[in-house]
A and B are shown apart, each in its own frame.
Chain A
Amino acid sequence: MTDEVEVTVTVNGRTRQSRVEPRRLLVDYLRHDLGLTGAHIGCEQGVCGACTVLLDGRTARSCLHFAVTVDGSDIRTVEDLADLDELHPIQEMFHQKHALQCGFCTPGFLLTAVELLERTADPDEATIREALMNNVCRCTGYANIVDAVAEAAVELRRGHGA
């Protein structure tokens, strides 16, 4: 009954085929089967957002999905944002603005910011704060994260304009 099931997903542009137990959480699949440890586990209750990934382009809690449920989906994790030389503009702004301390929550925040800025090129502070409710940070007090996202929006708009 609980035999392993075949799953095919595209993760960071690469097609992955695996056999997994139905109960295997997507976050465990990414972290322990694929070695993508950027998504972290902070609660497994959907609250903290440390496990956030982009599932078919939208933020999702990887602790609240089974790998089998997302069969056929496209998944993007934090590992996909930067290239070898350069950080993604949002990552760069997190660095410039000191928007991370322990960094445990950070991958989740980055993906939330990616989703926000893909939908809203020029968000105001209230919009940014609403969007960041997706994730909990216990270290930074949020202000620098809000700043970093606002600045990244400017940076990204400039990039598109150029």
Chain B
Amino acid sequence: MSSDTQGAVGQSVLRREDDYLLRGQGRFVDDLPTPLNTLHLAFVLSPYAHARITSIDTSAALALDGVVDVLTGADLAAMVKPIAAQIELPGYSFNTRDVLAVDEVRFAGEAVAVVVAESQYLAEDGIELVEVDYEPLPAVTDIHEATDPAAPQVNPTVPGNVYFEGRFATEGVAAGFDTAAHVISEDFNSNRVTAVPIEPRGCLAVPEQPANLVFYSSTQIHHLLRTALAEFLDVAESNLRVVVPDVGGGFGIKAALYPEEFVCAALALRLRRPVKWIQDRYGALLTDVHARDNHYRVEAAIDDDGIVLALRAEIRTNGGAYSALPFGCTLETTGGARMIVGPYRITEYEYTATAVATHTAPVLAYRGVAQPVCFMAIEGIMDRIARRLGLDPAEVRLRNMVPTAELPWTNIVGVRYDTGSFVESLEMAMEMANYDEFRASQAQGRLVDGKYRGIGICSFTEVSGTGAPGWRARGLTRLPGFDSGTVKVEPTGKVTAFVSHAHSGQGHFTTFAQVVADALGARLEDVTVVEGDTAAGPYGTNTFASRSAVTGGGALIRASEKARLKLARIAAFMLESTPEDIVVSDGRMHVAGVPSRALSFQEVAETAYAMNTSDLPEGESFGIEETDFYDPPLVTMANATHIAQVAVDAADGTVDIEGYVVVHDCGRVINPMIVDGQVMGGVAQGIGEALMEEFVYDPDGGVRTATLMDYLLPSSVDVPNYQIAHIESPSIDTVGGFKGVGEGGLIGAVAALVNAVADALSDLDVNVNTKPLRPALLSRLIREAGG
């Protein structure tokens, strides 16, 4: 038996989800029709980063017409257990969070009370009338100050404000540094940012009979959310159904489990009424998880050829005030430490990686996780090696990269790179960017017409599709790695495919249909994908960390193959042939070599569903509905090179991006159009992170960036046209050969831009080791250097 349907996979199939979204008929959580008796929530947020709550007077709010209830931390504590991320790493300081602060607030924006009212307007009227007395306490927001013995203690179970300190060293590090011809070292500072999906978060909890709660949430992790609701609300998981409607962007921040979700579900169960909460932008900026408040100190021991003999990294990441669920505050810490080695042959490596507690919003996943910063660091080091030795930065990279011929290759922390194109992607990107010509033109000086011109490279590996062993290696023992698919051939021969993912704009309804059509031998238009509903299809780990193509694609291929086998068995019986001789293609089955002896999916399905007079083969069960699970390897490694070309205005410090090239390798490409979309969107976010975005706290922890007037996002005039090309090195370790693509755009852009700006200013001998690179900063560097 075989399937010779040629290729839905690999085609730029236009998206099925577009039509209704374009008509304004998307169903985002705030668009869902709500029962008339729905109640609305608004949260009272602490303006202080650190304070004791001395009293809360809810009487005035309760007296307001339309306010149904006002609850404080103590009230909620009786309904929801303290929530906690489960991390099993030696020395990790376990900590818990009350869904509403009980006695003490630990970051500006932490909720202290919730108002339940008949409308959102009334709920917000209510929060103004809740009188909270705070006794402000000293706060610490800075990752270095936090570990000063005199610093205020953030969390009672996190001594010295250190959540976790991880260490690793290979034996020959010291020797590497001893024998090195040069040691290059640098400090890299990364600004705190947050993802800012344009749709803020929200949820709607609708109690249904009997004792069932349907919970709509703009989450990326519906199964994990359902399990957590069951656990922390102490309700039967089987009585909970989590549904993900359309989601307006997630980028990782919606792959966290938030207090508001637990509060909303608890109140719906208690009040026996639908309860809705829609976040506003102010709340989003203050309470969504943040990212990238990191410091890296990196030292590289090199020989005279620029070969890295040994690498040392000292990494400090700000975990915020609590370890957020489900990945915990060590996500960036262990991530950066393990990923920084990238595409390079690093044979001796040592790291210290520390997650620090501060009075700031919890930090968790944002597109790229640690990688934008660890590659800013290692790629910054590559450029510094080049400058020190008078080599070209591209040459230094090429000398240190693992060549394709040596793949599969296992890196120093045990991650296997099965296939890839480190060298090829760099060479191709250089060609597309006219790299050599650009370098030649720089020989006359980088300052032309009032602008310093520079070029920057980021060659990197992109962690994707992490399986259970990958999470275990990072202490996440309660995080599964698998996803699941169920493929159902309906009586009419149409196909419904269920997958344990939830989209937030990635086009899953289209791409997964492509995967199933090929694996099953169905016609693309006959396949419908269902996801984002815990009541439809089996359990899975859901959608974050560039997983869906790898884990969902893999699971669907396996389930499709099972379904195809069953189709073939029944068809063989009906055609008096053998299953091995049945060819499945294009929604039909025929006997190999005899196209006229054929059946449609519908004819076979009618037999399977006992809707005709044919018999099923002996022992065959009814229906055609097959499920399988797929846990990918430790990590599935994609790779890419970005090259950015910039002009820095000598007078005002503004940066123009004059060229932008990406060569990306995510293994087998399902839909090139969608892959390009992921890359472009990621690059734009990386431009934001490198050049303008920054979440700012006062030294005392007050928030300075509470609106989008102050937290800046890139616009259409801030981004260039992108030149994108693909290399396909199908994974040999995963089912389907796919590698993830969700994050690379952002990862590569940050380092490419920082390096390009540094290159532009390199004649001035200024050190660019921080971001965002706003005009004021660059202008100061230029002026200080006398440029």
Contacts and interface: CB of A to CB of B under 8 A. Distances in A.
- Complex contact flag A–B (Cβ < 8 Å): yes
Interface of A: 21, 23-24, 31, 36-45, 47-48, 50, 77-79, 81-82, 87, 91, 94-96, 98, 100-107, 110, 128-130, 132-133, 136-146
Contacts of A96: 14
B198 A47 contact: no
A62 B199 CA distance: 16
Contact of A103 (B18, B251, B676, B745): B18
A143 B713 contact: no
Given A44-B281, A45-B708, A133-B716, A100 B21 contact: yes
A100 B249 CA distance: 11
B767 interface: no
B709 A98 contact: no
Given A37-B31, A140-B681, A106 B199 contact: no
A138 B196 contact: yes
A87 B19 contact: yes
Contact of A102 (B196, B247, B709): B247
B199 A78 contact: no
B28 interface: yes
Query: Secondary structure at chain A's binding surface: helix, strand, loop or mixed?
Result: loop
B439 to A, nearest CB: 26
A138 B22 contact: no
Contact of A146 (B27, B673, B716): B716
A132 B715 CA distance: 8
Nearest to A136: B713
Contacts of B684: 138, 140-142
Contact of A21 (B121, B197, B717): B121
Contacts of A39: 24
Contacts of B121: 21, 23-24
Given A107-B24, A129-B717, A98 B673 contact: yes
A50 to B, nearest CB: 6
A130 B685 CA distance: 19
Contacts of B719: 141-143
Interface of B: 14-15, 17-19, 21-28, 30-31, 121, 195-200, 246-249, 251, 278, 280-281, 504-507, 673-674, 676-677, 679-685, 707-709, 713, 715-717, 719, 721-722, 745
A78 B24 contact: yes
A40 B28 contact: yes
A104 B717 contact: no
A93 to B, nearest CB: 10
Nearest to B20: A103
B14 A95 contact: yes
A130 B718 CA distance: 10
B22 A87 contact: yes
Given A37-B24, A44-B281, A104 B18 contact: no
Contacts of B745: 141
A41 B278 CA distance: 10
Nearest to A45: B707
B24 A138 contact: no
Given A40-B199, A77-B24, A87-B23, A139 B716 contact: no
18 contacts: A23-B121, A38-B23, A79-B25, A91-B22, A95-B19, A101-B677, A102-B246, A103-B18, A104-B26, A104-B249, A106-B22, A130-B717, A133-B717, A136-B198, A139-B249, A139-B505, A141-B683, A143-B680
A41 B247 CA distance: 13
Contact of B24 (A24, A41, A42, A79): A79
Contacts of A45: 281, 707-709
A38 B24 contact: yes
Contacts of B507: 101
A140 B18 CA distance: 14
A142 B745 CA distance: 14
Closest 8 CB pairs of A and B: A38-B24, A104-B248, A102-B505, A103-B21, A141-B680, A141-B684, A101-B505, A78-B24
A82 B23 CA distance: 7
B681 A103 contact: no
A78 B23 contact: yes
